[in-house]
Amino acid sequence: MLQRLIAAVLGVLGLAAIVLGIASATAWRADDTLTATATAAAGTTLLTTAPGVLEMGDPPVSVRATADDGTKVVLAVGRDTDVDGWVGTDAHTVVTGLQDWHTFTTDDVASTAPAPEVAEGEAAPAEEAAPDGEAAPATPAPDPDGSDLWVEQASGEGSAELVWEPQQGRWTLLVATAGEGAGPPTVELSWPRTVTTPWLVPGVVGGVVLLLLALLLAVRASRGPRAEQWQAVTTGATPVVAADGAGDAADPGASRTRRERREAAAAAAAAAAAARQAARTPRPWTPRTGETAVVDPRPHAGGATAMDPHAGVTPDVPPAGSDADAPTGPTAEVAGTTPAAARPVAATDASASGTAADRRDGAAPAPGPASPADVPATDPDAAASTGDGAHDPDSGADAFDGDPGAGTVTGLDGETGETGDTGLTPAPAAGGSRADAWRRAWGFPGAGSPPREPEPRADGRTDGEDH
């Protein structure tokens, strides 16, 4: 239920993300031009831009100015110092920036003229627009048209336009209405804008991901219970085990994860328990383990452990001999190179077995689980020294470990060396040893079965497999 709920929420979120992402690139997409306007304060005829305003957007900036009643409008671009110089002390309006996307912020500058005759008319300009506007007619508004100061200019009756391509330096715009009765001009600046849609891809991709996630959850939620039943069926693993020898070894082993291995081991244990109880067939609900168990055998000793239980049931099953052989070959070779690994195994075995007698058995079983281990153990015995053969391998192993155990051991070591090594490779032996211990504890014959010792390598391996 919860999963379905989460799936639904995720799905909605995903859809929302996609919709928002697309909307950000369509419905909410910003304009291709940035256009804003400003009007000079009432009573003034001059409007300028602060340095940098002309460069607020991508170049070039298009300027359009209009005036009421078709009076003359002049647009001029000049250095900021020139524009300021031309404006001088006259009252004017300065465009300082953007208030919002379509409106400029402006700054009204009152006339700072000393006090000539005009002063009276313009003295009270800022606040009282009307008087100014009427006072202005007395003296025609100044006309910047044609001044040498401008690098770009345009003029017209009622409106004027120009396009300014920014240059190095500080350039500002002067907008003026000229002539008698000129009113405040209105200017509109527009820049082309490269509109980006930064949210489109993240929105859509994220949304899709969320949707997929939701879908996945939904599917799992609806299939959950079925899956369990399914597993139950699979439990039929047993047959696999039989086949394991060849078939299993071929493929599955590799893909195991540690966890799976662990589970496999657990499964094996469970299986063993089952075996113990008798030859009961596995129950349908043991699914998981069943499956895993199948895989386990090949990769490592664990597999062997898993098999052990079965072995208990069918001790001779080991015909796996072939299996054993296969691994042995390589292991034997490797052994020589990595003796260290071997010891631990041997050690564990030894510890597990405890007494010498045990060892006898233990030694055999120890190797047993790890097919390779067995081989060495047996081999040394057979080849090098008789009688204590079983001990020898162990001791040999110990000696390698660094415990210069008994003199005899040492002697043996030299000989054992190779064999001992061979046994080592299969680290997993641990599982095997555990199984052996178990077996021993319960007096199962599997491990200690005599045939191994007498028989040369082949036997040994067989034994190992038995375990």
Which residues contact residue 448 at a Cβ distance below 8 angstroms, ignoring those fewer than 6 apart? 360, 361, 364, 365, 440
| Closer residue to another protein (CB): 210 or 397 | 210
Q: Which is nearer to another protein, 2 or 115 (CB)?
A: 2
Nearer to another protein, 210 or 363 (CB): 210
* 346: CB partners within 8 A, 6+ apart: 366, 373, 377, 393, 394, 396, 397, 398, 401, 420, 423, 424
| Smaller CB separation from another protein, 58 or 69 | 58
Stretch that binds another protein, among 197-205, 239-247, 354-362, 367-375 (CB under 8 A): 197-205
Does residue number 56 form part of the binding site for another protein (CB under 8 A)? yes
With CB under 8 A as the contact rule, the residue among 4, 37, 79, 336 that binds another protein is 79
User: In 3-state terms, what secondary structure has residue 444?
Assistant: coil
Of the candidates 291, 287, 296, 289, the residue with the CA atom closest to the CA atom of residue 256: 296
226: exposed, middle or buried (Cβ count in 10 Å: 0-12, 13-18, 19+): exposed
Residues 26-45 binding another protein (CB under 8 A) are 28, 30, 34
Applying CB under 8 A, does 11 fall inside the site for another protein? no
| Cβ atoms of 429 and 366 closer than 8 Å | yes
81 binds another protein (CB under 8 A): yes
The residues in 84-103 that bind another protein, with binding defined as CB under 8 A, are 85-86, 88, 96-98, 100-101
With CB under 8 A as the contact rule, the residue among 42, 60, 181, 199 that binds another protein is 199
Among residues 41 and 210, whose Cβ is nearest to another protein? 210
Tokens of 29: 């997409």
| Residue 131 binds another protein (CB under 8 A) | no
Angle at which helices 287-295 and 237-250 cross, to 10°: 30
Quick one: which of 129, 149, 218, 313 contacts another protein (CB under 8 A)?
149
Interaction of residue 168 with another protein, rule CB under 8 A: yes
Spatial distance between the Cα atoms of 365 and 463, rounded to a whole number of angstroms: 8
CB contact at 8 A, 361 and 349: no
Residue 51 makes contact with another protein by CB under 8 A: yes
Residue 313 sits in the site that holds another protein (CB under 8 A): no
* Matching residue, tokens 């328990």: 273
Q: Is 146 exposed, middle or buried (0-12, 13-18, 19+ CB in 10 A)?
A: exposed
Name the site residues for another protein (rule: CB under 8 A): 2-3, 6, 9-10, 13-14, 16-17, 20-21, 24, 28, 30, 34, 50-53, 55-57, 79-82, 85-86, 88, 96-98, 100-101, 142, 144, 146-149, 151, 168-170, 199, 202-203, 206, 210, 213, 217
